[in-house]
Chains A and B, each alone.
Chain A
């Protein structure tokens, strides 16, 4: 706030109209200062208020900033004893000449106009002018998503004069690299703003010539935590869930099939969810690689069980055919029967009551080939004993198929290896 000081400064005690003081009507302000002469240098200063949003789908960003221009127009000089300036709001802008800076590659922009146009004009006695306004601009930014969401985007806002080439108006950063200031805490929820810096260059238009162009460049690095929680973690859990199927008894057909199929469905839903908020680019993104490889793992676990089941039934059929070729053992003594195929025959059952398997030839059963009956061995049921000829007997129904056994190691091992490669490449 200003304290009104009583002094004899003409800037504070002028009673007449501003236009008379500034002699606005004496000059034609549609012409630039020093018209016909050398180029007028206009210094630019920017203070960033906020980065409002970055949109991947539209590939643009929205920024609010204070844009200040500094130049000298002798037609606006006025006599003064102290060196103080006169401050005006936006209504004087229409009457004098101001530089016509625009934002190249901007999609939409506006000067805020609440409660009145947010424009300030400050005129110094020697004709120096400070012209400041508050603008929100939405500008294009070409984004490269091949490493999304572990990516960094570099965007820039470009200022240029629309009408005046570099022979008429020279645009430059007033304080070099320090011309760009940012408000206390500019922060975005999804990005970390790495740095802001300014550059300037010349731009050529074939029909109209060379123009000075000023750049505000900034780099944004995406925070990955949200995507870890939203996409990577569920996908990893689904893959791990599909491995559970290798530990379930292979005879539990409905269980293993529905486990596999439901993990495939969930992976498909996760993949659809990610692409909903992304632009439709023509190359593969880092998150796509991860999700599709996980999908393939889950898919393969379903195929693995189909193979296990198929081979089981094939084996079973073979066994059955082989067993049918054995002659009927009715009437044969129990011991011989046993040696042939390890089965008890019903016809001799009454003489076999109480028979335990300790009296059988010792078994060389391996643990994994144990038939389910082994669980009841304390009841001393007839565990198959291989007959000398009858190896064919009961080897069939093993608890664990070899494919399952290997899968329990191969699938997790390969997935962990894939993760190691993925995170080291993209991090």
Chain B
């Protein structure tokens, strides 16, 4: 005869988990079916219903609703099958189940972690198409109710809504399909604390290098290199819990650009150092000094070769050596004539002044970098947060 209308009502107990790597979600819900079967009507004075547990369903007809696109699902069966059947005198039946279902949800991560995911659970009858069974939401949009406090740790559940449609299968016809749609907005706080904030701090730390004396070669290089290493560690940490997608995510954009800033600060110092040595060589040639010895004060000497000098030394800048003792002996050998006399601080003669002027504290590149790097980074941040928020 005509198709039997089956009303559906859902109460969502909990959304157990959303997995980015598997691109699915797990939900526990009470699924209730309402239909009328005259063969089950019985005589009664009052209009009360009879309630049965799961063992009766094997003996009567029940609709065969399944979840389209579900990966795993089961009806809870502790202590007995969580199934309820309630039969009214006029043959109306209420059939309720408690189910946990893991269903597929296609997620788009191009704005991760400032993203919103739309997922939906779809119900359909497996065997009966539109001509035999009409599936509909019993109370329209209000058929979907949620438990007292459904909450996820990482997401904010924006809305639950119910909709219905028809699905066509070429081999079997048209079926009624019901949709439970929900939108999830990700909480960004965790990612700000875990990824954005450390990345920002590392970029700021790399700017410290522009303020350090450019003669401190080991210091500036190790500062730059260690910030690169830390940025790399942060980036690896983020992609560990993400699916391997083929497009770039919002967090990737931020981390890679921060990485680029840190990288450029290392390159900047390489440029400064290179230009410094060129300058020095030019001046050397100009003055034509035979030995290339310069009188340098203790601070400069320590910054240059990392060895402790307790007094001003004459250093041979061209013959720089790794071992501190060598530098010291070379230095004292040059001033050997003064061994007996107290070590004198050298007084520059007018000509000797040239020797010291070369190693200026600041290269012009450094001076500009101190302003350019922070301002470009701040502009980038304005663009990024304006675009994605």
Contacts and interface: CB of A to CB of B under 8 A. Distances in A.
A336 interface: no
Contacts of B343: 373, 376, 379, 381
A162 B82 contact: yes
A345 B356 CA distance: 17
A302 interface: yes
B303 A346 contact: no
Instruction: Label chain B's interface by main secondary structure.
Output: mixed
B249 interface: no
B302 A376 contact: no
A275 B32 CA distance: 40
- Among A101, A135, A313, A381, the one with the most B-chain Cβ atoms within 10 Å of its Cβ is A313
Given A254-B218, A379-B343, A102 B223 contact: no
A317 B50 CA distance: 97
A164 B79 contact: no
A31 B151 CA distance: 38
B213 A59 contact: no
A271 B234 CA distance: 11
Interface size class of A (residues with CB under 8 A): 35 or more
Interface string B158-202: 000000000000000000000000000001111101100010011
B94 interface: yes
Contacts of B362: 313
A280 interface: yes
B53 A163 contact: yes
A241 interface: no
Contacts of A261: 205, 222-223, 226-227
Contacts of B211: 306-307, 309-310
Given A103-B78, A382-B344, A253 B303 contact: yes
Given A257-B219, A380-B342, A163 B83 contact: yes
Contact of A306 (B86, B149, B153, B212): B212
A320 interface: yes
Nearest to A393: B345
Interface stretch (B13-21, B254-262, B283-291): B13-21
Interface in B332-360: 340-347, 349-350, 353, 356
Interface string B286-305: 00000000000111001100
Given A133-B79, A282-B189, A344-B344, A253 B216 contact: yes
Contacts of A324: 353
B55 A163 contact: no
B222 A142 contact: no
A59 B189 CA distance: 19
A279 B153 contact: yes
B371 interface: no
B184 to A, nearest CB: 13
Interface of B: 9, 11, 13-14, 16-17, 28, 30, 32, 50-56, 76, 78-86, 94, 96, 98, 100, 145, 149, 151, 153-154, 156, 187-191, 193-194, 198, 201-202, 205, 208, 211-213, 216-220, 222-223, 226-227, 229-230, 233-234, 237, 297-299, 302-303, 306, 308, 310-311, 340-347, 349-350, 353, 356, 361-362
14 contacts: A100-B80, A106-B76, A135-B79, A162-B83, A208-B86, A253-B219, A254-B217, A257-B216, A258-B223, A281-B189, A288-B193, A299-B201, A346-B344, A352-B341
Pairs A-B, 5 closest by C-beta atoms: A282-B187, A254-B218, A163-B84, A253-B216, A381-B342
